[in-house]
Structure 1
Amino acid sequence: MKSESLTAKAIRRSILTMAATSVAATGMFTSVANAEEEQAQVERIEVTGSRIKRTDMEGSSPITTIDAAAIEKTGEMSVADVLRRSNLNTFGSQSEASGSNWQSQSNISLRGAGADRTLVLLNGKRMPGSPTMGGTAVNLNTIPTAAIERIEVLTDGASAVYGSDAVAGVVNIITKKDYDGFEVSATMTNPEQPGGEEWKTHVVGGISGDKGSMTFSLEHQNREIIYQRDRWFTSSSNILADKYDDTTGVSAYARNFLDMTTFQFSPMAACDNDKMVGGGHIYDYGGGDYICGYDYTSEAANHASRAYTAGYVNADYEISDEIRFIGQGLFTRNETFGRYAPAAGWFNVEAGQIDIQNWDEDGNFLGTSKNANAGRTYYRFTDVGTRDSTTIDYSTDIQVGLEGTHDHFGWDVTYHYNLAENSNYGSGYVHRPTVEALVKSGDFNFGPDGNDASVVAAITHDTLAQDIMEFQSINAGINFEAFELPAGLVGFYFGSEFSDYKYHSRVDSESANGEVIGSSGAGSAGDRDVFAVFGESIIPVTDDLEFNVALRYDKYSDFGSAVTPKVALRYNVIDDVVVRASWGQGFRAPALSDLYAADSFSADLATDYHRCDIDGIAPVDCTADQYDVTRTANPDLEAETSDFYNLGVIWNITDDLSAKAEYYNLKVDNVISFISLDSLLREEAEVGYGNLARGEIIRAGDSPDGRILEATTPLVNGNGFDTSGIDFNVTYGGYETSFGDFGTTFDLTWVLAYNSEEYFDGPVNDKIGRNGLPEYRFTWVIDWSYGDHAASLLTQYIDGQAETVDPDTYAQIGSLSSQTTFDFSYSYTASWNGKFGLGVRNITDQDPVLDSNLAYDDALYNLYGRTFTATYTQKF
């Protein structure tokens, strides 16, 4: 990553170079005054965070730039993977997880504030959120990599300029334009550990002339699946232990019975089956309960496979001296394949319908008998086979517009259309009413031998989920320089936007009715119109002091309106030292799915410390388990509001050495979020069973000491959270030796505080340093070049965290180690415009940081291990 100061410096140098070249070309009698005029007429550029074009990227708001060369050094093949490595993606973000409806989705979460509070732009225009994620965040897997010129990350709030979602910052992906030539490239990877092999090929081309230009790209990427059994830490462990809590990778959804009168678990006779752990191994489940288990890691996958194809084109044409046409189109197809273990779920049985095993408190087998009472079977449908999930996402994005200039006046108008159609096809699921009917009739075989083909065919169900988001907008604005102050002209931009969103989420009727075992979710739909007007001005108060002010008004058709201001300043203390500061308010509108989604089923991980206490298990040894949870939307949600301020210092120490430090503080109120089951459990510990302010926990026997049977977690407006920290950068280049030139860049993000509620309306604590919330992380790059050779060593560090917290005092317990990884890349540019590249990602083959249960945070760490890369690029 480049520091913004060096990027700006490079632009200034190019300006001076062009001016000097112009002087030489016109002969020795050309005056210096003409050179200065040439410099003043250099094309201005639009910098992320402002709609007013300027010649200097170093404005009043902090911007981190990731250019194509920096992307190449990472060895990553997708935008999502590049941004996931950034320090600014502080606590990690969503990646392609196998088996779920979200397995094709990937996003970025600036400042750890959430992907739905990070706005993503493509060439300065808003990208609508993915319908699969309810329109709350952009799926970065829809954006091509080959066409990228650079990525600009604005790290203060920008709702006053761009509207909703720009609470924590903005990621602006800027594509190549005015490209003249043709490029072909191919890359492949070879991981040392099984799975995850990738290959990618792309072409980039373009033509340019006096009147206009056209640039296009086409790329295809493939990534193979990674199974849980292929990593030692995600495969099962200690599966023949006496106690269930001493295992990993084993599910109680095997073949077990819950008596709904005594609320006692017992293994079924059907546990005596080769597909169950140990062919029917029985575990002590605690509290006098015994069960058998199923090793789901033997079938399930960690990361989905991915096949991605994208075509991109942009063009501009000079209609007249004052009017230019601008257009771009992006077309993508993203297909993923994931696998879950065979369907697992509960269904009801009447008394006397199944054979159960009986065990005493000492673990002695007492024989089998018919179930005396009605209850639930927690059953794994191994006869049906694995649940396979294929997603196919299509995305079409088209923008056309006109830009005009006349003297110091300019205007622009753009029409933007985006259609995202995401479909998920699932097989291997089970229809609960059919199972219950066959159980009642006696045709379902609970014995060890399982069911015949006719029964399996009758209960098997294929699922379909389709999410569609159609987005249209018209943007128009004018810019002008109204008057002149002693330090320069005052620039203004005034504009308006009208946007229309249509959202549809559909699932097959059986899934929608909650009749499918092993599936979840229901359909929903909604639409909204948004009208906005906004204005912005850059005011050069003195030669050294500049103000930037902005104000925006948004009106939503379905929930209300918002007014968001922003004020920023940039001050040259001395020639090489710049101080800047910004303050702004922001907002995030409820997503359409937040307001209108139907109730959906989820199997959520949570830790029931109360049950562990009853069973004599210490908090540090209390493990998380999956529970049936119903999530509910809320049509009465209000918008989130935020305050963000930033204070930074940039020091160009020498021509080759620069440093910057930026302090940020973000406060978000009225936070929209699901109350997690963990939060409900923490609240329950404080207020007692049955006294929750929101949501519901149902325990066996309606007893405070019973096992959790199910829960309901609603979507609410919580009180909020705040976070603060420091970004620090040092960049040095130009160290010349006889064996090559060296440079280095160091980027650090240090989170000072992350204060949020322990549960809804509960105590607020600083959670920094907890599991998943590292206090700091840094990236350090060392570059070397010698003639046609170049190499880089990239070091990334993620700080250690506590493993868990005390459920009573919230003190941090246990320690997870830090992680340091190293990536190396080398390239050679041949005389025929060919370029060879070799690299190694994760040189020391580091595994993810694991807790005592061999679990890891897949938002922070990846499991690819040491991976070798090779690339060849040919330019014509």
Structure 2
Amino acid sequence: MLPNSKLAKAVRFALITGAATAALSAPAVYAAIDDEKVERIQVTGSRIKRTDMEGSSPVTTITAADMEKTGEMSVADVLRRSNLNTFGSYSESSGSSWQSQSNISLRGAGADRTLVLLNGKRMPGSPTMGGTAVNLNTIPTAAIERIEVLSDGASAVYGSDAVAGVVNIILKKDFEGLEVSGTASSPEQDGGEEWKTHVIGGTSSDKGSLTFSFEHQNREIIYQRDRWFSSSTNIMADKYSDTTGVSAYARNFLDMTTYAFDPMAACDNDKMVGGGHVYDYGDGDYICGYDYTSEAADHAARKYTAGYVTAEYEISDEIMFEGQGLFSRNETFGRYAPAAGWFNVDAGQVDIQNYVDGVNTGTSKNENAGRVYYRFTDVGTRDSKTVDYSTDIQVGLVGEHDDFGWDFTYHYNLAENSNFGKGYIHRPTVEALVKSGEFNFGPEGNNADVVAAISHDTLKQDTMEFQSVNAGVNFEAIDLPAGLVGWYFGTEFSQYKYEANVDAESAAGEVIGSSGNGSSGDRDVFAVFGESIIPVTEDLELNLAFRFDDYSDFGSATTPKVALRYQLIEDLVLRASWGQGFRAPSLSNLYAADSFSADTATDYHYCEQQGTPVAECSAKQYDVTRTANSELQPETSDFYNLGAIWNITDNFSSKVEYYNLSIDDVITFVSLSSLLKEEQSVGYGNLALGEIKRAGDNPNGKLLSATTPQVNGNGFDTSGIDFNLTYTGLETAAGDFGSTFDLTYVISYDDEEYFDGPVNNQVGRNGMPEYRFTWVIDWSYGDHSASLLTQYIDGQAEKTDPNTYELIGSLPSQTTFDASYTYMASWNGKFTFGVRNITNEDPVLDSDLEYDSSLYNLYGRTYTASYTQRF
């Protein structure tokens, strides 16, 4: 029985007209049925082939045709639109070493708890992301046949990371002929133009088949100045808090004795806002500012090239060879504003402007030692280029003899990612030139020799090498009255080698405007697993699975799963599943060296001391040191699912699924936001883990820096409902119509407010919408077809009171419409035209004109066109 609060939310859900699980999907036909033979198929979540389209676990299919309706050109962008990607996920962001990365986070549980498979085989995590999540930008879109999303836990079948579900990307095979295609898109606003071309070909014979594909995609950069909401606003305001897009890292001095900010004489520079405009920074401080949006980019430019080949060959009547190779190169270019950071100066080394109540009382030398918060405009912008190479090779044998089958696969994956950065600053050189008097703090800036001396190019190289050997047997044994029991037993050995290297100066923390550090590690994993499908009665099926994993570096894990499928009546299926799961700590979680970052957080305590209301307390960036933890243990989880599938008529069907995911011993950074919340409760200097440093070691002083550790937290729980309605085959004189309506509704997301702190339901907070849905209407008439796709993301609160945890402010919901039209020409050509975001909706913005890039994108209305020719 549901607790009262959850039951009330379930009732509330029933009053919403919507539908669920994965946006864009329509029921897929897996089994071909005739009078003599029923084909057995294998669906994600089980290794045993079956005859039923709906098994005991929920699987949603996104076909190549579904992907085409969205107008998106990458698999990452398609999956990020899915309702199952509940709270959004990371996408490419200009300027950082992660700018080439994109992932999916099922159930809002995190991308590192979503397992991604390629043709049923595990893909290792991206080394750039520390091996914790798969970079979807390495997967070619043109080669995809379909994507199957298993939306319950599957660690018993696939092992680590399948805590919240599995995304199985299935590539084309048995392709006949040749297909050539070109696609282009053009946003109405500046930046983000895309084009893509691909070739797919294949041939087959009585003994085997060969399929290949090649594709190239190109997307232009989007600068912050290209969008009204990401460019600066109100830059000539008196108060700094009334601006957006302006940084205090300009030409300012922080006195480390009084902890007061003052603008430097060097503020009188054309690159500073207004040529030296001074802001009231609050607390009696004054600063000048720099408009970083004038040069920085939001979305990176991207060039992607991939080749894919797969082959099958019948060695004998009972043995088939299968092989595939995937090779991709993903290059991105991003831009940050010129490097900004602080460095130390002694007393008397810089000229500061003395402001009292907004009045400049004159210029003098600094009396105390301090920090200069400086924007190195002389050096130019920080430009970042990433080049990611991915190689994936799978070869195997599949055999059958009577009722006995077997398989053997060798899988090799190598990811080599490099990030090249220009325009960074070597702090020790700057400080040495300051001491010698060669660094010019004046408005005129520094000469070419000084610029060359302080400039630094960064290099970050990440590598993940993965090898695995899988073997298994399947057979039917034990004849029950309802039929034979199906079995599968297998074993797997995997090896991971991870290495991340950065240039020596960055590793030593000597580079201004950069972050990160190196690490390395390796592990071996041995696993054995088994699965059985037991026909208890003609209508009741029991599915059992069990897996044991042994890790070379931290221990072992045992995970079971039990699932039931019950054919209540001919057109109504009930199903239920329970499974335990686990997630192993990544090699970077365990062994990474300390890394430095600028984390964004809101210091409500300091705002309170200054008399700033919670609603007006703004988030700022702070220096943070992140530390790994070699003592981490794996996460464990329990996943429950209850569902019903009702074929109401031959054309009308419905699905409803209730899920409940509970995760213990969560592997997480104790974030700066978490530390600040804990400090509110326990007081400065009393944190259980991590550290906060305030000016003068004063509990009420400015926040200067923090240390955030990697730990096993207590855990979190989430539950919700997926609901789907599908109608197809409405025949009219004006054409045939169909519709799919999907919704995911989050009943609860119970998580700690901070490490070991109070637990609250956080649904409805900023970035955590209560529900989102997709509605697709399809139309076809002869050679013509069209679709209208509606997507809705519920509104959220803007802030959460740090003391009472009540929701403050309101962010509106967002509804977007996408349309596409296709004409099939008589010469096997296909024309497709589309418009994404027809009403040109901006992302949902908060009071600081910030938006959640995990949930929303900044492309606006975008026109698409493509032509495909089959031979």
Q: Same fold (TM over 0.5)?
A: yes
Q: Which runs of 5+ in 2 are unaligned?
A: 1-19
Residues 3/736 of structure 1: CA separation in 2 closer, same or farther (3 Å cut): farther
Of residues 209, 214, 226, the one that matches 1:213 is: 209
1:543-554 equivalence runs, <5 A: 543-554=538-549
Are 2:258 and 1:262 aligned?
yes
Are 2:221 and 1:225 aligned?
yes
Q: CA deviation at 1:606?
A: 0.5
Name the structure 2 match of 1:26.
none
Name the structure 2 match of 1:437.
432
Are 2:498 and 1:479 aligned?
no
Residues 4/755 of structure 1: CA separation in 2 closer, same or farther (3 Å cut): closer
Name the structure 2 match of 1:10.
29
Cα distance in structure 2, aligned partners of 1:542 and 1:860: 45
Q: Which runs of 5+ in 1 are unaligned?
A: 20-34
1:368-379 equivalence runs, <5 A: 368-379=363-374
Q: CA deviation at 1:240?
A: 1.0
Cα distance in structure 2, aligned partners of 1:301 and 1:424: 17
1:338-349 equivalence runs, <5 A: 338-349=334-345
* Stretch deviating more after TM superposition (257-266 or 332-341): 257-266
Other structure's SS at 1:630 match: strand
Q: CA deviation at 1:2?
A: 9.9
User: 1:30-52 deviations in whole A, cap 9, x for unaligned?
Assistant: xxxxx3xxx14x3x222100001
Cα distance in structure 2, aligned partners of 1:533 and 1:850: 49
1:708-727 equivalence runs, <5 A: 708-727=703-722
Residues 70/434 of structure 1: CA separation in 2 closer, same or farther (3 Å cut): same
- The answer to whether the Cα contact below 8 Å between 1:5 and 1:652 also exists between their aligned partners in 2 is no
Residues 673/9 of structure 1: CA separation in 2 closer, same or farther (3 Å cut): closer
* Stretch deviating more after TM superposition (612-621 or 829-838): 612-621
1:66-145 equivalence runs, <5 A: 66-145=62-141
Of residues 812, 816, 833, the one that matches 1:838 is: 833
Cα distance in structure 2, aligned partners of 1:841 and 1:6: 18
Q: CA deviation at 1:56?
A: 2.2
User: 1:49-90 deviations in whole A, cap 9, x for unaligned?
Assistant: 000112223100000100011001000000000000000000
Amino acid paired to 2:110: G
Of residues 139, 158, 164, the one that matches 1:162 is: 158
User: 1:606-661 deviations in whole A, cap 9, x for unaligned?
Assistant: 00111111222110111000000000000000100000000001100000000010
Name the structure 1 match of 2:492.
497
Cα distance in structure 1, aligned partners of 2:642 and 2:764: 24
Amino acid paired to 1:548: N
Name the structure 2 match of 1:24.
none
- The answer to whether the Cα contact below 8 Å between 1:283 and 1:292 also exists between their aligned partners in 2 is yes
Cα distance in structure 1, aligned partners of 2:119 and 2:831: 30
Name the structure 2 match of 1:359.
355
Name the structure 2 match of 1:32.
none
Amino acid paired to 2:765: R
Other structure's SS at 1:610 match: helix
> Structure 1 residue runs of 4+, over 2 Å off?
1-12
User: 1:360-404 deviations in whole A, cap 9, x for unaligned?
Assistant: 1x2111100000011110000000000000000000000000010
Q: CA deviation at 1:6?
A: 10
Residues 376/795 of structure 1: CA separation in 2 closer, same or farther (3 Å cut): same
Name the structure 1 match of 2:676.
681
Name the structure 1 match of 2:614.
619
Of residues 795, 811, 832, the one that matches 2:806 is: 811
Name the structure 2 match of 1:243.
239
Amino acid paired to 1:755: D
Amino acid paired to 1:802: A
- The answer to whether the Cα contact below 8 Å between 1:2 and 1:745 also exists between their aligned partners in 2 is no
Other structure's SS at 1:291 match: strand
Amino acid paired to 1:567: V
User: 1:798-840 deviations in whole A, cap 9, x for unaligned?
Assistant: 0000000111100000000000000000000011100000000
Of residues 596, 604, 608, the one that matches 2:603 is: 608
Cα distance in structure 2, aligned partners of 1:805 and 1:473: 46
Cα distance in structure 2, aligned partners of 1:409 and 1:681: 60
Are 2:504 and 1:509 aligned?
yes
Amino acid paired to 2:33: I
Q: CA deviation at 1:3?
A: 8.7
- The answer to whether the Cα contact below 8 Å between 1:4 and 1:64 also exists between their aligned partners in 2 is no
Q: CA deviation at 1:750?
A: 0.2
Other structure's SS at 2:137 match: helix
Are 2:291 and 1:273 aligned?
no
Name the structure 1 match of 2:6.
none
Cα distance in structure 2, aligned partners of 1:856 and 1:178: 44
More contact order relative to length (CA 8 Å, sep ≥ 6): 2
Other structure's SS at 1:297 match: helix
Residues 679/630 of structure 1: CA separation in 2 closer, same or farther (3 Å cut): same
Cα distance in structure 2, aligned partners of 1:5 and 1:303: 25
Amino acid paired to 1:263: Y
Are 2:666 and 1:648 aligned?
no
- The answer to whether the Cα contact below 8 Å between 1:157 and 1:166 also exists between their aligned partners in 2 is yes
1:333-732 equivalence runs, <5 A: 333-360=329-356, 362-732=357-727
Cα distance in structure 2, aligned partners of 1:852 and 1:10: 47
Cα distance in structure 2, aligned partners of 1:616 and 1:791: 57
Cα distance in structure 2, aligned partners of 1:56 and 1:686: 54
Amino acid paired to 1:571: Y
Would you say how many aligned residue pairs link Structure 1 and Structure 2? Answer: 852
Q: Supply the RMSD in Å over aligned alpha carbons.
A: 1.2
Other structure's SS at 1:15 match: coil
Amino acid paired to 1:371: N
Amino acid paired to 1:500: Q
User: 1:528-555 deviations in whole A, cap 9, x for unaligned?
Assistant: 0000000000001111100100000000
User: 1:150-190 deviations in whole A, cap 9, x for unaligned?
Assistant: 00000000000000000000000011111111100000011
Q: CA deviation at 1:732?
A: 0.1
Q: CA deviation at 1:7?
A: 7.2
Other structure's SS at 1:10 match: coil
Residues 9/308 of structure 1: CA separation in 2 closer, same or farther (3 Å cut): closer
Q: CA deviation at 1:246?
A: 1.0
Amino acid paired to 2:476: E
Name the structure 1 match of 2:324.
328
- The answer to whether the Cα contact below 8 Å between 1:793 and 1:824 also exists between their aligned partners in 2 is yes
Percent of matched pairs sharing the same residue:
78
Cα distance in structure 2, aligned partners of 1:692 and 1:282: 37
- The answer to whether the Cα contact below 8 Å between 1:805 and 1:811 also exists between their aligned partners in 2 is yes
Name the structure 1 match of 2:860.
865
- The answer to whether the Cα contact below 8 Å between 1:202 and 1:219 also exists between their aligned partners in 2 is yes
Cα distance in structure 2, aligned partners of 1:439 and 1:5: 59
- The answer to whether the Cα contact below 8 Å between 1:8 and 1:57 also exists between their aligned partners in 2 is no
Q: CA deviation at 1:11?
A: 3.7
Amino acid paired to 2:334: G
1:276-295 equivalence runs, <5 A: 276-295=272-291
Amino acid paired to 1:429: Y
1:752-771 equivalence runs, <5 A: 752-771=747-766
Residues 538/727 of structure 1: CA separation in 2 closer, same or farther (3 Å cut): same
* Stretch deviating more after TM superposition (93-102 or 52-61): 52-61
Are 2:195 and 1:199 aligned?
yes
- The answer to whether the Cα contact below 8 Å between 1:2 and 1:66 also exists between their aligned partners in 2 is no
- The answer to whether the Cα contact below 8 Å between 1:662 and 1:727 also exists between their aligned partners in 2 is yes
